[in-house]
């Protein structure tokens, strides 16, 4: 028996032929097909989705304005930059700002508008360092905190903790929104949690930088910059105005000696093989109309390459991995 087994395991003459080993399907298959753009269904889908996308863009532009025109004019008349102008002047020139939860608070409080939840959060590059930026919008109800404002603030801090992002707070806040203070102050994940998170991040050497760009009290002699810089020692720097405060913040971040360590290999992005706007005609706005989600994936992932697994099991769900070429 053992002799027969040894004979069976002995390399054959054909296997011993020198040369490269041949693998099956080294290249990754690409997804996607060209749609029939002349079909009535495609054109109907395209037009309906285009209307919805345009509506989305219009609402985003409205949210970016912040408070109403009167509130913005009053803010500017006090020599202050609008909150999005502060962020633009803080981050590196030409660098992107990844905004989070832009539609927070949208139509949440009946007829009371709270654009972006009254606070702007997102990731931006400051002096070459990716930071979580949290900026109060004083044009929205004086920058007061609604329940959704607290939730958005805490979510930004959680993202910063998980990704070890230094936090920059551009503070211009009127505190809690008094009519809703019962939903702002008392519970575990309410307003006080913000300071709990700050303390925890500081203990983990995740830098916290605060730029108080507006008055937090009604009068200078009750606790303004001069008192805290000269007497109490609570503050580290005294800024002359918004732009000076942002300049000081950039200097602080630059001196952190912080370098992001990537645990993954970053490669240049690659466009899909198919135009992104074809998604309008493929998906459409009719929720009763089905479509092939693989055609959607083909217009999202790099090179339209997708390694699908369990393709024959549970065919109402598509699972897979985007792979490099």
CATH of 54-254, one of 3.40.50.150, 3.90.226.10, 1.10.10.10, 1.20.272.10: 3.90.226.10
As separate numbers, helices (DSSP H) first and strands (DSSP E) second, the chain gives 10, 7
User: Minimum mean pLDDT among 95-99, 159-163, 227-231: which range?
Assistant: 227-231
Answer for the pair 122, 98: CB distance below 8 angstroms, yes or no: yes
Answer for the pair 274, 305: CB distance below 8 angstroms, yes or no: no
Q: In Å, how far are 196, 235, 259 from 266, measured between CA atoms?
A: 34, 39, 16
Which one has a higher pLDDT value, 69 or 203?
69
Distance of CA 307 to the CA centre of its chain: 27
User: Token pair for residue 130?
Assistant: 């990716």
Confidence of residue 204 (pLDDT cuts 50, 70, 90): confident
Given a cut of 80, whether residue 314 has pLDDT beyond it is yes
pTM of model > 0.75:
yes
Structure confidence at residue 179 (pLDDT):
67
Structure confidence at residue 27 (pLDDT):
62
Given a cut of 80, whether residue 46 has pLDDT beyond it is yes
Which residues, listed in sequence order, are joined to residue 129 by a DSSP beta bridge?
126
Given a cut of 70, whether residue 95 has pLDDT beyond it is yes
Confidence of residue 28 (pLDDT cuts 50, 70, 90): low
Answer for the pair 137, 115: CB distance below 8 angstroms, yes or no: yes
Mean pLDDT of 30-49: 93
Q: Where in the chain is the domain with CATH 3.90.226.10?
A: 54-254
What does pLDDT average to over the chain?
A: 84
Given a cut of 60, whether residue 182 has pLDDT beyond it is yes
């Amino acid at each position: 028996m053992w002799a027969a087994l040894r004979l069976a395991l002995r390399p054959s003459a054909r296997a011993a032929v020198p040369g490269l080993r041949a693998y099956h399907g080294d290249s990754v298959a690409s997804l996607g097909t060209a749609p029939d753009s002349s079909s009535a269904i495609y054109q109907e889908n395209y037009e309906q989705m285009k209307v919805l996308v345009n509506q989305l863009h219009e609402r985003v532009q409205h949210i970016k304005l912040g408070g109403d025109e009167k509130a913005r004019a009053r803010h500017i008349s006090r020599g202050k930059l609008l909150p999005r102008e502060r962020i633009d002047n803080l981050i590196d020139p030409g660098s992107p700002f990844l905004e989070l939860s832009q539609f927070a608070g949208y139509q949440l409080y009946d007829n009371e508008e709270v654009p972006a939840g009254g606070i702007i959060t997102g990731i931006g590059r400051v002096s070459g360092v990716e930071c979580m930026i949290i900026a109060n919008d004083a044009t929205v109800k004086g920058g007061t905190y609604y329940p959704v404002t607290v939730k958005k603030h805490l979510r930004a801090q959680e993202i910063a903790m998980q990704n070890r992002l230094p936090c920059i707070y551009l503070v211009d806040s009127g505190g809690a929104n008094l009519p809703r203070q019962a939903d702002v102050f008392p519970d575990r994940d309410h307003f006080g949690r913000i300071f709990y998170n700050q303390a925890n991040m500081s203990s983990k050497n995740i830098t916290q930088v605060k730029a108080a760009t507006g008055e937090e009290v009604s009068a200078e002699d009750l606790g303004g910059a001069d008192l805290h810089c000269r007497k109490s020692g609570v503050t580290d720097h005294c800024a002359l105005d918004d732009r000076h405060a942002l300049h000081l913040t950039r200097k602080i971040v630059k001196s952190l000696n912080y370098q992001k360590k990537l645990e993954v290999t970053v490669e240049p992005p690659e466009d899909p093989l198919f135009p992104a706007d074809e998604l309008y005609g493929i998906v459409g706005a009719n929720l009763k109309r089905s479509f092939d989600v693989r055609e959607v994936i083909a217009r999202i992932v790099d090179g339209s390459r997708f390694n699908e697994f369990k393709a024959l099991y549970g065919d109402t769900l598509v699972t897979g991995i985007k792979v490099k070429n």
